[in-house]
Amino acid sequence: MTLGRLALVVHPARPIDAPLDTIERWASERGMDVVQVAVDRDGGRRVAPAAELAPGDLLVAVGGDGTVLAALRASLAAEVPVLGVACGSLGALTAVHAGGLADALERVRAGDWQPRRLPAIEVAAAGRESTWAINDLVLVRQGTAQLVVEVAVGDERYARLAGDGLIVATALGSTAYSMAAGGPVLMAGTPAMVCTPLAMHGGHAPPLVVPATAALSLTVHPGFGGFRAEIDGQAQPDAALAYRLSLRAGRATLVSFGPDPRALTGLRERGLILDSPRILARDARAKGS
């Protein structure tokens, strides 16, 4: 790609001096500008002149997976790719460790990279501008009163849930909060979103997989304690009482330098998916024999 500028999204607290030095030096040697895009997750940390994204920019997310999520959401309007830089362990969304950043930038400049296209959930509420969730939308109660949410697919009611709330996640987000709450794992590329109730009080409504061809409607009835809405882990300032959610394919682009990561392997390596203890005991006996 023909690079216009390097635009940064940064972690609010992690040490990032080394990758920032690499970015500044690499850009200066090539006569490129470095700017920063403000996002909710950066905590007001400023490391470069503020600017709006423009076509031709490369958005560089310096931090970890949370920083990449914020960058992906910021990238949607200008449709620019995001390069995730890990300042710590290499996560599911970061493409390179900080020490390999200069080589990664050169590869992007030379066109030696693959686009990893990700879907997003369009979150629409009456009278408000639509926003986007790369991982998930979460509605969760505040205080002691339960949150009631009516869930429908198209014009067909699924259930009226009373409990802590619910999560609606993409395939990418299905391995995060949704999985922790008992939801199913959707393999990467699955054209669907999953709706997972949180601590439903009575009744029966298992996690629901909704195809991309259908819209999910949520009508919220908060208790006296109220509720909050979170998108990709960030609280929204003005939670609505009715939402219409639609999955849109290929809305965001991650820079990748190889085949898409093997999501199930990553979950096993991090201990989030484990074999049955009986199988592990059998393996241990086999090693000791």
Residue ranges of the chain that CATH labels 3.40.50.10330: 5-112
Q: Which CATH architecture has domain 5-112?
A: 3-Layer(aba) Sandwich (3.40)
State the pLDDT at residue 289.
65
State the pLDDT at residue 259.
75
The active-site residue, picked from 21, 40, 42, 65, is: 65
State the pLDDT at residue 88.
83
Q: What CATH number matches the domain at 120-249, 3.10.180.10, 2.60.200.30, 3.40.50.300, 3.90.1150.10?
A: 2.60.200.30
Say how far apart CA 188 and CA 152 lie, in whole Å: 25
Per-residue model confidence as pLDDT tens digits over 198-214: 999 999 999 999 999 99
> How much is the pTM?
0.92
State the pLDDT at residue 152.
98
Instruction: Name the stretches of the chain with pLDDT < 50.
Output: none
State the pLDDT at residue 1.
67
State the pLDDT at residue 40.
82
Quick check: is 136 catalytic?
A: no
Residues 218/124, Cβ–Cβ less than 8 Å: no
Helical H segments across the chain, by residue range: 17-29, 65-75, 101-110, 177-180, 263-269, 277-288
